[in-house]
Amino acid sequence: TNCRNTRRIAEYCARIVGIDASVHEEAPLGVTPNVTEAGSFKEIIEQTRQIVQNWCLAARGGMQLRQVAILTATNNPDKWPDAFGHIKLVTDFDQWRNNIGVLLSTQRRFKGLEADAIVLAGVPRPDHRDFYSYADHYVATSRAKHLLEIIFDNSL
């Protein structure tokens, strides 16, 4: 029985691997995961910036930085900006836990962890590439407790 995710995230995850979602009866319905596409790395960063700012800026969502993680399929933190305006991006888990910035990590490095809100940024379609299977996609999406945004990279 799924006790981590909202019903809508659990249902999305279950469809990835072709199973029925068994969700705890008190789990909230939640927001349907949003799936978009991007044709370039520049578009991925821009879409991710908009999502993170909508979630974290005080005048918008007001989430704590430690509640949000950006997960990628490959390790390329040097290609990402250091911040989205005043919202710092960090790769260190301790800095993230201490609310210094939003975490930028690979989905494999994040396995076993969870966050209230996750952006899967620039991932390939599952099984489109050898390094990203349906199981990888399931694990990555199931890390989100309340909000999930997926940006598929159409350039891969």
pLDDT of residue 29: 87
Q: What is the pLDDT of residue 129?
A: 64
Q: pLDDT tens across 110-119, in order?
A: 989 999 999 9
At 1, the pLDDT band (50, 70, 90 cuts) reads low
CA 144 to chain centre: 7
As given in the structure block, the two tokens for residue 77 are 């933190």
> What is the 3 state secondary structure string of the chain?
CECCCCHHHHHHHHHHHCCCCCECCCCCCCCCCEEEEECCHHHHHHHHHHHHHHHHCCCCCCCCHHHEEEEECCCCHHHCCCEECCEEEECCHHHHHCCCCEEEEECCCCCCCCEEEEEEEEECCCCCECCECHHHHHHHHCCEEEEEEEEEECCC
Q: What is the pTM of this model?
A: 0.93
Give tens-digit pLDDT for 2-49: 678 898 999 999 899 887 777 778 888 899 999 999 999 999 999 999
> Among 105, 100, 126, which residue's Cα sits nearest to residue 15?
126
Residue 132 has what pLDDT?
85
Higher pLDDT: 63 or 130? It is 63
